[in-house]
Structure 1
Amino acid sequence: MPKGYIIGHITVNDPEAYKEYVVRDTPILLSHGAVPLVRGGQGQVMEGEQHDRHVVFEFPSYEAALAAYNDPEYQKVMKIRHRTASSTIIVVEGA
């Protein structure tokens, strides 16, 4: 079964308030089997829209990634990200 991924491209507008999002979203994602592969760090956008931060979480399956994103607790926490950053979030099935 192919793995699933949540990929985020994020520009943080309020770094202090954004910290709460990171603290609260991580346990929710981990409870769905997430493994953080990329979480910040150096990066260069070679093509396309520039964002400051990039994250990739691997899940046991595409369905698990969707379940994590749609988790009611995550949906509440997501509102912190909406207030403190602009972002593109993608759920994708691996090869």
Structure 2
Amino acid sequence: MQGETREIRLKRLRMRSMRRGIKEMDLILGGYSDQHLDGMDAEMLDLYERLLEENDQDLYQWVSGQVAAPAPYGELVAEIALGADGIVRPA
């Protein structure tokens, strides 16, 4: 968002990560955002923000490996999936 500080953007993205349509994605993206957003540069934050605009059912299938993530999200989804053990599959 224009005129938004990095701090405000990170808070907004954390909230969007934790308040999803399905509980599994709340847990997966909430945990991921807490661990990784601070270390992301502006380009990665842009990609993550675009990912958050995707449908939760699609995101869940990508993270769980049921369906391959589209090209722009492949590496990001793979990184998110690393922290999803116990949520999308038994730990």
Shorter-chain TM-score: which interval? Answer: 0.3 to 0.5
TM-score, scaled relative to structure 2: 0.33
TM-score, scaled relative to structure 1: 0.32
Structure with greater strand share of residues: 1
Structure with greater helix share of residues: 2
